[in-house]
Amino acid sequence: MKVKVLGCSAVELPHARLTSFLVDDRLLLDAGTIGTVLHEKQQSKVRHVLLTHAHLDHIKDLPFLADNIALHNKNRHLKVYSISDVISALKTNIFNDIVWPDFTKIPTSEAPIIRLETIRAGKSFKVDGFRVTAYEVNHAAPAVAYLIEDKKQKKLLYTGDTGPNTKIWQSLDTTHLHALITEVSLPNIQKNIALKAGHLTPVLLKKELEKMKRLPDTIFITHFKPVYKKKVQQELKELNISNIRLLKDGDVHEI
């Protein structure tokens, strides 16, 4: 399983791109950054998108991806998966012929560019050779994490945005994770803000990891705000967990 970091920041700046990960060139985890990184041919390989939640930093480039598919690949469609709250938000607020054309009906309702697929937390489903399971997480908006397993039985858990959460670790009690991509948005001094907003700090991350019977082989950290990057990096180092890695835009990791 190859994971390319299209973006791993909580804000967009000239040196920081919004959250999106490309798995094996064809599956997107969130859609904050696509068009400024992938050219048309690379975008044409993308077949599926898993959205964790509907916040703009995780969906921003989805409308532009739909437009590029319509322009360059009219005979194919893109499947977008998420929980009902997220699918409803996309229909109501994005693909509504006001903010953006309704690509769920273009060129026709029977054969649209975008097919929105509602999934349920706790239920597994197949996506282009991957087995995917969604799990509820604790965030300011309705959100899920995704456990992704490939044909070689490599397992990646992508939490998206989340605060402290016991249920997901109980659900994954016996699962050996080859990789975990999780967030640390804020430094420890902003713990109270993190808890209210449904985010993690380094100390809160450590408490989450202590809920696991076995640590993942590698723990990748995403969604930090550039203004806090050095502080968060130092606080993560102080945890003394050797397999923590801070992600960078453009990274490619083989899991």
- CATH at residue 219: 3.60.15.10
Number of domains into which the chain is organized? 1
3-state secondary structure the chain: CEEEEEECECCCECCECECEEEECCCEEECCCCCCCCCCHHHHHHCCEEECCCCCHHHHCCHHHHHHHHHHHCCCCCEEEEECHHHHHHHHHHHECCCCECCCCCCECCCCECEEEEECCCCCEEEECCEEEEEEECCCCCCCEEEEEECCCCCEEEECCCCCCCCHHHHHCCCCCCCEEEEECCCCHHHHHHHHHHCCCCHHHHHHHHCCCCCCCCEEEEECECHHHHHHHHHHHHCCCCCCEEECCCCCEEEC
Q: Which range marks the domain in which residue 247 is found? A: 2-254
pLDDT in tens, 23-38: 999 999 999 999 999 9
pLDDT at residue 75 is higher than 90: no
- pLDDT over 80 (residue 74): no
pLDDT digits (tens, 9 = 90+) for 110-127: 999 999 999 999 999 999
